[in-house]
Amino acid sequence: MNKLSLIGLLSLVIRRDLVLAMRRRADVLTTLIFFIIVVSLFPLGVGPEMDMLRKMAPGVIWVAALLASMLSLGRMFSADHLDGTLEQMMLVPQSLSVLVLAKILAHWMVSGLPLVIMAPVLGLQFDMTTQAIGVLIVALLLGTPILSMVGAVGAALTLGLRGGGALVSLLVLPLCIPVLIFGAGAAEAVVSGTSVSSHLSLLGALLVMALIFTPWVTALALRISME
Amino acid sequence: MLEISNLACSRGDHLLFSDLNFSLSAGELLQVQGANGSGKTSLLRTLCGFMMPVAGEICWRGQNIRELGDQFYAEMIYLGHLNAIKDELNALENLRIGAGLAGCKVDDKQVIAALRRMGLRGRETLSVKVLSQGQRRRVALARLLLCNASLWILDEPLTALDVGAVELMQDLIGEHLVNNGMVIYTTHQPLEVVGVATRRLTLS
């Protein structure tokens, strides 16, 4: 009998989650449309002053991305928990952390990547410069995976709890503050003419740290939730 | 060879059972009996490592399953109350993923053969959403055929199955035991495998 390799397991789970997301497109679109609407509300609310909009754009886009990513966190493990797939995942004769990493990557592709792709269009709405938009995209590319990873820990901890959806936001949002500071800071640095690279390096460092620790912590949290 | 010694399990503060001892060797069939709430499912879930026992040891081939981890999981398969199949996928996709999670690589031919054996000819590419409860259970059971796990842990495998499928299950278990497999299961329905004495363990 053929044994499935670690990479094989990784790609199997990613492909599975992507296929499931494609067949439940409404869920994916909700996150994206929420993001677009929240960002679009600000110019309407604060008035069409170009200078002010340009200044607040990175912050608004980042906060909206943060909130939008909270929307999809509840779904990360709950469907698998309800139909028993999660039990089978615990019994994978490979590392559970790798499986969790695959689920996080798939979650990011479905809920984080569309936000990054949509950001330049929203940036134009705020009259951001091309350079600032470029930095914003790089920062989002580095930052949104961290949101998925930290969110996974929260989602695993609140699995099966009543009102888990609201709880996970309360748990995860404070932990995402560093990402918000450096992410929005990078694009603001372009506007104010200071160094962008320090913000991006710090985001990169956070990403590496999250990549190392969160799959492992999520796996532990899942095992606790299953008891 | 599965050996359980002095096992005690609790759910919350309630002690379900204690000082449980039994062993299961190749070719043996063990039925766990007991009234509702006596801890049958908890026992099976403890054997899978989902729950920590309060006391006692579970050993597989002489080693504690906590230490064995992945090696133990590669040799066992668990089928719980929940079928672990997705409504959005068809039977073929579900099984391919189910087998993958159990650590084995299968091709479509094997999966289709397993589904046909379970009496699901012509339903391979139908969305699971349109299948009946019994048919869904058959899809879940087809996973047993795809992986060469030696220990089967089955929690109420016969729920929702019709008479024909129950007979089929008996045959499958019989074949597995002949191939030196081990089966531990719970059921409230009669399940007799020809030529094999069922050992019974009663929880009270």
Interface confidence (ipTM) of the complex: 0.90
Chain A partners within 8 Å of B100 (Cβ): 4, 8-9, 12
- Residue A206 lies inside a defined structural domain of this protein: yes
pLDDT of residue A2: 67
User: Residue B64: left if φ>0, alpha if ψ -120 to 50, beta else—which one?
Assistant: beta
- Residue A30 lies inside a defined structural domain of this protein: yes
- Residue A1 lies inside a defined structural domain of this protein: no
Q: What is the mean pLDDT of residues A113-142?
A: 94
Chain B partners within 8 Å of A9 (Cβ): 100-101, 103
| Residue numbers of A between 55 and 84 with CB closer than 8 Å to B | 79, 82-84
Provide the residue count of chain B.
204
CA distance B98 to chain A (A): 8
Provide the number of structural domains found in chain A. Answer: 1
- Torsion angles phi and psi, residue B114, rounded to 5: -65, -40
Q: What is the mean pLDDT of residues B43-67?
A: 92
Nearest to A153 by CA among A209, A85, A93, A87: A209
CA distance A103 to chain B (A): 13
Tens of pLDDT, residue by residue over B152-196, are 999 999 988 999 999 999 999 999 999 999 999 998 888 888 888
- Contact between residue B30 and residue B22 where contact means Cβ atoms under 8 Å apart: yes
Chain B partners within 8 Å of A16 (Cβ): 97
B51, B81, B105: residue with CB nearest A227? B51
Q: What is the mean pLDDT of residues A75-92?
A: 91
**Reduced to 3 states, what is the DSSP secondary structure of residue B11?**
strand
> A92 at the B interface (CB within 8 A)?
yes
pTM as predicted: 0.92
Tens of pLDDT, residue by residue over B87-134, are 999 999 999 999 999 888 888 899 999 999 999 998 889 999 999 999
> A8 at the B interface (CB within 8 A)?
yes
Q: What is the mean pLDDT of residues A112-133?
A: 93
Sign, CA dihedral A101-A103-A106-A107, equals negative
- From CA A25, how far away is CA A36, in angstroms rounded? 17
**Residues in CB range of B163: below 8 A, 6 or more apart:** none
- Residue A164 lies inside a defined structural domain of this protein: yes
Q: Which amino acid is at B192?
A: E
* In the block, residue with structure tokens 């363990």: B201
> A26 at the B interface (CB within 8 A)?
no
User: Long-range contacts of range A12-18, CB-CB < 8 Å, 24 or more positions apart?
Assistant: A12/A102, A12/B97, A12/B100, A12/B101, A13/A99, A13/A102, A13/A103, A13/A106, A14/A102, A14/A105, A14/A106, A14/A109, A16/A106, A16/B97, A17/A102, A17/A103, A17/A106, A17/A107, A17/A110, A18/A106, A18/A109, A18/A110
Q: What is the mean pLDDT of residues A193-205?
A: 93
Q: What is the mean pLDDT of residues A133-145?
A: 96
**Does pLDDT of A1 surpass 60?**
no
Q: What is the DSSP letter of A176?
A: G
Chain A partners within 8 Å of B147 (Cβ): 1
- From CA A145, how far away is CA A143, in angstroms rounded? 6
Q: What is the DSSP letter of B111?
A: H
Interface residues of B toward A, Cβ cutoff 8 Å, are 48-52, 70-71, 73-74, 76-78, 80-89, 93, 97-98, 100-106, 147-148
Q: What is the mean pLDDT of residues A84-94?
A: 91
- Residue A83 lies inside a defined structural domain of this protein: yes
- Residue A31 lies inside a defined structural domain of this protein: yes
CB contact under 8 A, B102 and A91: yes
- Could you tell me the residue range of the domain that residue A29 belongs to? 6-226
Tens of pLDDT, residue by residue over A143-193, are 999 999 999 999 999 998 887 778 999 999 999 999 999 999 998 898 888
Q: What is the mean pLDDT of residues B53-80?
A: 91
pLDDT of residue B204: 79
Pairing of strands B2-11, A2-3: unpaired
- Residue A68 lies inside a defined structural domain of this protein: yes
CA distance A79 to chain B (A): 9
Confidence of residue A101 (pLDDT cuts 50, 70, 90): very high
The residue among A7, A91, A103, A220 with the most chain B CBs within 10 A of its CB, best to mutate, is: A91
A4, A20, A227: residue with CB nearest B104? A4
Q: Which chain B residue lies closest to A81 (C-alpha atoms)?
A: B84
- Residue A209 lies inside a defined structural domain of this protein: yes
